[in-house]
Amino acid sequence: MMSAPFDFVSLLPAGLPPPAARWTGLARFSFVGGNNDPEQVPLEGLIAAVDAVLAREGRTLATYGLANGPQGYLRLREFLQVKLQRDAGIACAADDLLIVSGSLQALDLVNQTLLARGDTVIVEQETYQGALTRLGRLGVNTVGIPLDHEGLRMDALASALADLKQRGVRPKYIYTIPTVQNPTGTITPEARRAELLKVSETYGVPIVEDDCYADLIWDGQRPPAIYAMSKTGGVIHIGSFSKSIAPALRVGFIVAPWAMLSRMLALKTDAGSGALEQMVLAEYCAQHFATHVPKLTKGLRAKLDTLMEALNEQFGTSAEFEVPKGGIFLWIKLPDQVDALKLYQAALAAGVSINPGPEWSTDKAWSKSRLRLCFASPTHDQIREGVAVLAEVCRKEFGVPTRSANVEARG
């Protein structure tokens, strides 16, 4: 006789997110997520690093945190200390760094430390969906600030902060992705960063700087980190190896003043992030990071070119976009009649997955006809074929692009 399945549902507390859907695999043409190029994972170097580091230090795995304390593998923090000084102008000690399980854990720790239900956080109007969903789940009000080609618009930020102040609201932080913004691909120049710091200090609102794409800049010109420019220490800097090496490793980091880092560390109750990943990264990166990254960005730039070419060919003037300054995403505007959420469903049924704009924006109406495509993980052929299928679906559903859009564009 079959017994009745145990009823967990009656035990669930209020306020849980909806249940997760079961994984059904990637679409044939997958332009979603922050996935990387599988061909560019530096396998040989990683294999050699695993061998070397395990042979030398493998027995330290017997101790939680490799006997390096709770902030992460010391050699990885030392690598980051040198790299952050060289690339981002950040002068920090290895002890100012906390290694975490991807920058998502960094966001969780920042949020757990600073936020309570009903708080307010300032975000870029177009921003990382993972940050928006986290804030939504915590019952936090998000105020979206419009962007221009240099990132956060300072006039809009200053007036939003003044308005909030008048209403007695002091936001808990300003969340920004200043170096290759997700999804728009802009880089905030140094002068704008200085303005941002000034506004943040005037209103006493700290900045959370999410810099996970900062290694992937086409011309390699990375401005100093906002963290490095701050004289008051009101900045939390977050980084990751997900975009420069591989996201499945789940290794990110936080640089913050001890007053904040010590609070986040107290909330990081997982007994340390995966140690083998940290050991392998430290071993690999010390020798190869500086040569790996230019190769990676060159390959990514070639894929972006293929994507832009395919869009021009298939969508003509119906697809508008600015060339991103680096990274793995293209942010696209389609004609107003296109509903990106509906396009998402129809395209998925045809084997193409895209990220609909409204999921990456606080302004659902403004982003209705926008979408984000990740060009890093599909092959060049998949990019070309996938865009052709997407155009066909879009034409069928919304009447655009017209069949000869690219010809019309030239005529």
Ligand X SMILES: Cc1ncc(COP(=O)(O)O)c(C=O)c1O
**Is residue 36 at the binding interface for ligand X, with CB under 6 A as the rule?**
no
| Closest distance to ligand X from the beta carbon of 297 (Å) | 16
Nearer to ligand X, 210 or 215 (CB): 210
| Of the residues 103, 113, 188, 318, which one makes contact with ligand X according to CB under 6 A | 103
| Closest distance to ligand X from the beta carbon of 201 (Å) | 24
| Of the residues 46, 74, 90, 104, which one makes contact with ligand X according to CB under 6 A | 104
Q: Please say whether the beta carbons of 184 and 323 come within 8 A.
A: no
- For ligand X, what does the binding mask look like between residues 289 and 318, x meaning CB under 6 A? ------------------------------
| Of the residues 128, 321, 331, 344, which one makes contact with ligand X according to CB under 6 A | 128
Location of structure tokens 């994984």: 23
Nearest 5 degrees, angle CA 105-CA 171-CA 134? 30
| DSSP one-letter code for 82 | H
Q: Please say whether the beta carbons of 274 and 248 come within 8 A.
A: no
| Of the residues 71, 179, 240, 314, which one makes contact with ligand X according to CB under 6 A | 240
**Based on the number of CB atoms within 10 Å of its own CB, is 52 exposed (0-12), middle (13-18) or buried (19 or more)?**
middle
**Is residue 182 at the binding interface for ligand X, with CB under 6 A as the rule?**
yes
* Separation between Cα atoms, residue 19 and residue 8, nearest integer Å: 12
> Tokens in use for 168?
């007695």
| Closest distance to ligand X from the beta carbon of 147 (Å) | 14
Stretch that binds ligand X, among 14-22, 87-95, 100-108, 362-370 (CB under 6 A): 100-108
* Separation between Cα atoms, residue 370 and residue 364, nearest integer Å: 10
| Closest distance to ligand X from the beta carbon of 359 (Å) | 13
Nearer to ligand X, 99 or 157 (CB): 99
* Separation between Cα atoms, residue 142 and residue 165, nearest integer Å: 15
Stretch that binds ligand X, among 46-54, 240-248, 286-294, 379-387 (CB under 6 A): 240-248
* Separation between Cα atoms, residue 216 and residue 181, nearest integer Å: 11
Q: Please say whether the beta carbons of 140 and 285 come within 8 A.
A: no
**Is residue 130 at the binding interface for ligand X, with CB under 6 A as the rule?**
yes
Nearer to ligand X, 111 or 318 (CB): 111
Nearer to ligand X, 102 or 378 (CB): 102
Number of residues that bind ligand X (CB under 6 A): 14
> Tokens in use for 62?
């017997």
Would you tell me how many other CB atoms lie within 10 Å of the CB of residue 165?
15
Location of structure tokens 């969340």: 175
**Is residue 177 at the binding interface for ligand X, with CB under 6 A as the rule?**
yes
**Is residue 212 at the binding interface for ligand X, with CB under 6 A as the rule?**
yes
Residue type, 173: Y
Residues that bind ligand X (CB under 6 A): 34, 102-104, 128, 130, 177, 182, 210, 212, 240, 242, 247, 252
